[in-house]
Amino acid sequence: MSSVAAAQTNLESDRPIPLVSFLDPIQADLAAVETKLNEEIRSDVRAAYAISGHTLSAGGKRLRPAAVLLSARSVKNAFPSQTVYASASAVELIHMASLIHDDVVDNTDERRGRPTANVIYGNQISVLVGDYLLAKSIYLAAREGVLEVIRIFSKVTVGLSEGEVLQITAQGDPNTSEETYFDIIKRKTAGFIAGCCEVGAVLSEASPVVRQALSDYGLSLGLAFQIADDLLDFLGDPKVTGKPRGSDLREGKMTLPLIAAYRQLGDEDIRKEQIAGWIQDPETLTPEAIEQVVATIHEFNGFEYARAAAVRQVAEAQSQITHLLPASQYRDSLCSLAEYALGRTS
């Protein structure tokens, strides 16, 4: 069977809910979201359905729906479930759309241990199915009729796109600053997770102060999550992360561990010129060169530096909610989610 045919036979997602105990209080909610996602991606245009199904069934952590659900439940347990499930599904549709587009932009051939949509179906149709999923998310949110949620989703999507444009502009620049790095990840990842938490708060009719606190929690969680992702790119096991080691380097991207190490290299240090050359022209990067970059980052404590930054964001995230939200299993789960972002291996 060809890879296209294989992907087309598996349109429905029957993925297990992630086995992390802090998601136990929302297992039933996550299952309802999974059912909704399977319904929403259906199309009688076979390729649109096939690519959406391929992306949905690849799994993923469902972090963004979990952020909506936990935020909503942490404010008010008796929440408007159908509207919240629709919003939690809509954020996953936006996320799926952004990953399909991102894999085209980054020319990625593997995600979550499986060939990407662009590899199986080509760039043209992948971009269009990304558009299809984004449109589906707007349609779903519009059907629920909560204007404030649509406003937050729109703002988040603008930020996602700006972050990705900024990232492309910085690609190939070895002098990318820490400030630019944070600007990029704030927009492309953290702003989105902040929006998920804010939507949960809005749907549970949180006070403006609690709504802001949950949004700030999400922003810090998102920053920690993306820094951890960038650490895993260098240090993770490709069999567990589902993507090859050193992918960011291969894309000419300077991420926090490398930024922290590179700026300490003296102008006379031959490694400075070498790393600049690889970032500017990643085609010249060999597996040995990747190992050399990793060794240099180790030598200059770049991994410790990035990890410390992520640890600070986790503490910041937790401090936003511990005093403002009433004690509950959902608030505990939000705190555990922040720690999970840091300790994850995939």
| Sites of contact with Mg ion (CB under 5 A) | 102, 106
Indicate the length of the chain as a whole number: 346
CB of 222 to ligand FPP, least distance (A): 9
Identified binder of ligand FPP from the candidate list 70, 90, 97, 152, rule CB under 6 A = 97
Identified binder of ligand FPP from the candidate list 94, 221, 290, 306, rule CB under 6 A = 94
Among 35, 56, 42, 161, which Cα is nearest to 117's? 56
CB of 239 to ligand FPP, least distance (A): 16
Q: Which 8-state DSSP code applies to residue 326?
A: P
d(CA 337, CA 225) in angstroms, rounded, equals 10
Q: Decide which of Mg ion, ligand FPP, none touches 171; Cβ closer than 5 to 8 Å per partner kind.
A: none
CB of 311 to ligand FPP, least distance (A): 20
Site for ligand FPP in 242-301 (CB under 6 A): 247
Residue 150 is encoded by which pair of tokens?
A: 């649509």
Query: 27: how many CB neighbours lie within 10 A of its CB?
Result: 11
Among 70, 4, 85, which Cα is nearest to 38's? 85
Q: Decide which of ligand FPP, Mg ion, none touches 176; Cβ closer than 5 to 8 Å per partner kind.
A: none
- Residue 91 is a binding residue for ligand FPP (CB under 6 A): no
Question: Cβ closer to ligand FPP: 272 or 344?
Answer: 344
Secondary structure class of 112 (helix, strand, coil): coil
Site for ligand FPP in 113-132 (CB under 6 A): 130
Angle, CA of 198, 92 and 18, to the nearest 5°: 100
d(CA 169, CA 302) in angstroms, rounded, equals 23
CB of 248 to Mg ion, least distance (A): 8
User: Where is 27: in which H helix or E strand?
Assistant: helix 27-40
Of the ranges 36-44, 105-113, 197-205, 270-278, which one interacts with ligand FPP (CB under 6 A)? 105-113
CB of 290 to ligand FPP, least distance (A): 15
CB of 165 to ligand FPP, least distance (A): 8
Q: Which 8-state DSSP code applies to residue 204?
A: T
Question: Cβ closer to Mg ion: 29 or 102?
Answer: 102
- Residue 98 is a binding residue for ligand FPP (CB under 6 A): yes
Site for ligand FPP in 189-218 (CB under 6 A): 189
Beta 110-111 vs 114-115: how paired, if at all? antiparallel
Query: 313: how many CB neighbours lie within 10 A of its CB?
Result: 24
Of the ranges 59-67, 93-101, 197-205, 318-326, which one interacts with ligand FPP (CB under 6 A)? 93-101
- Residue 134 is a binding residue for ligand FPP (CB under 6 A): yes
Per the CB < 8 A criterion, the answer to whether 37 and 17 are in contact is: no
User: Where is 87: in which H helix or E strand?
Assistant: helix 81-105
What is the binding site for ligand FPP (CB under 6 A)? 94, 97-98, 101-102, 105-106, 108, 130, 134, 157, 160-161, 164, 188-189, 247
